[in-house]
Structure 1
Amino acid sequence: MNNYRIMDAKLEEIKDGYIFNYEKGVYVCLLCNEIFEVGRIYDIGGKLYEAFRAVKEHIKLEHNSVLDNLLTFDKKFTGLTENQKSLLTDIANGLSDKEIANKNNTSPATVRHQRFKFREKAKQAKLYLAIYESVEAFSKLEHKKELVKPHSGATMVDERYIITNEEEEKILRTYFEAGENLKLKAFPAKEKRKITVLKMITSKFEKSKKYTEKEINEILKSIYPKDIATIRRYLIEYGFLERTNDCRSYWIKQIKEV
């Protein structure tokens, strides 16, 4: 079973056992990743079905039921003990409280109490899900709207510095290679992007250390060897670095949010 897909699906999709990928026009079985493409006809158990019916018939034929498969998930995913899973299976199979009690050597009253606890847990789960999804949606919305504050050494704060966290993240993904080492793919021409890139490059310098021009060049060379002089000049021009008049000593301005 592909836990990643099923845990990433919506509640109704999990109960159905499949998802529909609108972009690709396919139904995907969450239990085995079998794909059913819209417009094709599938032979399931000797009968012909279009994609929507095919994925449903596939689940019944190959997986018996979605519930059976969901109950195989570990407790860390469901919060259910093996005894609780067994009881839920009996309830799903239509056994009466008396039949379940006899099967498990307990009393019908105990079974009824467990049914009540299941219902209460389901109510709590729905409320928790509503709260969590609301918090997550609000958090993402605020994160997108939040503006990145200019660095303290900014020489002139204007429209170039009006950038959201979301925009900043997109710029960094675009211009830097993925990986632990900071590698610039290209130096942007637009001012807002340029400032964002320079801010990231500045993070490679120690705040309290003074550097020689050679040391500055070595660091910049490891990030973007194509044009060290231009990046060094912009770091000074935009107030990320300062230097002595004879260019023998460089240091970083304190980059803290203001």
Structure 2
Amino acid sequence: MLWGVSGPLFLLDYLGAVAVAVAVALAVRELTGRRARGATPDRVELAYLTDRALLACQVGVAALRRAGGVTVGELATLQAEGPPPPRAPGLVRALHTALRRPQTWAAVLADPDVGRALRRSVARLARDGWLLTPGQRRRVALGTLPLFAVAAVGVTRLVESAVEGRTAGGPASVAGLLLCCLATALGGWWLTEVPETGAAARRLLRRLRREHAELDPERRPVWQGRDTDALLTAMALFGPRPLLAVDPAFAVQVGVDPERDRPRPERRPARR
């Protein structure tokens, strides 16, 4: 069956099969976790959806800092002063509890109460459909199997043609099929990297980033006069760079890399 058509025609059929397999893989990815239920995630949870646990903790400690509840001490230690903000999320309260005595940022991240608060947040996000469950992630990974099956068919044609002396087409067809098989396998391998967030969470993040586009660090927003809500929203949606612009010394203390996370300087036009 694999040799009943000429090389160019088989290559066209192969590309059509690849297109169908890619469509199946992408459809499974987009439909899995398409619906979410429950309340919209708060800013700490949005930060987790954006860049997982470290950013969630950075947003939480920034909330404490802006409320006047965290000071920087000697030997790169942090300490909480006063009560946590009212109606603070569970992770913020856990960070406040961990900082009742001076600790380094690394020790705060390793605190058992902080870890438990993070696990509770992750469990709620998964229960409400914002994060994919292990079963859903396996389903997305299995959606790439048609791609590997198509690649296997192409490789089988090439190998058996070489072993049994059958023709797989001219040199151009053989080279094209070989390259297509390699690209198909690499594409399938790339698609097996399953995102932790579901389709509903990705849609939510895209919508919120459009609504708050003026807070994108790439647009170099002016932070003077903006309130804490704007800062925390910007961090939750775009990463920790806004904290580096508002409170650089504290940002470094909580793990923000000044070199990697600082906005790139604008290029000046060359003088003529």
* Same-fold status (TM-score > 0.5): no
Q: Which has the higher contact order (CA 8 A, sep 6+)?
A: 2
Q: TM-score, normalised by structure 1?
A: 0.24
Q: Which one has a bigger Cα radius of gyration?
A: 1
